[in-house]
Amino acid sequence: MMLALNMSNHSAIEQLGTVTNRILVVEDEESIRELLVLGLEEEGYEVVAVADGHTALTQCQAPVPQPQDFPFDLIILDLMLPKVSGLDLCRFLRSQGNHVPILMVSAKTTETDRVLGLEVGADDYISKPFSMRELVARCRALLRRNRLNIAADTPTIVHFQDITLYPEEYRVSVRGLAVNLSPREFRLLELFMQNPRRVWARAQLLDRVWGIDFIGDQKTVDVHIRWLREKLEIDPSQPQYITTVRGFGYRFG
């Protein structure tokens, strides 16, 4: 068994200032389980280790109000386990719509086992004997990939003073009241709010909001800015949100 534990702890440092990832280790062989716990804790992870599939299931079924409150960020799952097998556990979690990253570990090394593990929804597969360094690298990759997915899935609601923009719902509220924006006005405001204080030339706004194929006048921008001010500003003639930058264009905020 190659279980090198003399790893650098740069990843523990890398994790400082971020939320500690919790890993569930499901492994019936005590020596391997202990080495996994030691190695992962040394890397800065919080580890819960269990020895059979049934206990793992209990850990995973603790009632959580929201899917994102699932208690683990990653599961390291042995394939051959007493009571409930790794395959069954994996299959069960996926059937519940649980997308927690799963790294399957097994002494079996045939391609069939690998394929089966991945088919029931495991994200990656590592066979025993493995090096702790490789296992940690794979864990890190899975966690990173998952973080990126979550970030991509989470709609970013944008606030600026009294204005709130909900990109997913295509909705804007100003001083607590809903305002109706045309698609162009919406896109323009979204761009502004995502880049507060940035100065935009009319040509840049045309490119970003209307697209480079747009054939028309830069006055189009001025017209939309006027409409947007009428909907957002308390006094459109004294704009507080969208200000004109003489000789250049516009700025939000």
**Residue numbers at the binding site for Ca ion (CB under 5 A):** 28, 78, 80
- In the chain, DSSP finds a helix count (H) and a strand count (E) of 9, 12
Letter string b/e over residues 174-202, b meaning 16 or more CB atoms within 10 A of that residue's CB:
beeeebebeebbbbbbbbbbeeeeeebeb
Closer CB to Ca ion, 128 or 231, in the complex:
128
Q: From the CB of 78, what's the least distance to Ca ion, in Å?
A: 4
The nearest distance, CB 108 to Ca ion, in angstroms, is 10
Main-chain phi, psi angles of 117, to 5 degrees: -55, -45
Closer residue to Ca ion (CB): 56 or 188:
56
Nearest residue to 53 via CA among 21, 90, 23: 90
What does the block give as tokens for 134?
Answer: 């490789």
User: How, if at all, do strands 199-201 and 249-252 pair?
Assistant: antiparallel
Would you state the torsion angle of the CA atoms of residues 47, 48, 51, 55, taken in this order, to the nearest 10 degrees?
-150
- For the bound state, the minimum distance from the C-beta of residue 79 to Ca ion, rounded and expressed in Å, comes to 7
Residue 105 vs 163, nearer CB to Ca ion:
105
Rounded to a whole number of angstroms, the minimum distance from the CB of residue 133 to Ca ion is: 21
**Smallest gap from residue 85 Cβ to Ca ion (A):** 9
Which residue number is nearest to Ca ion in terms of Cβ? 80
Tell me whether residue 28 or residue 222 sits nearer to Ca ion (CB atom): 28
| Residue 249: strand, helix, or coil | strand
DSSP tag of 206 = I
Q: Between 78 and 124, whose beta carbon lies closer to Ca ion?
A: 78
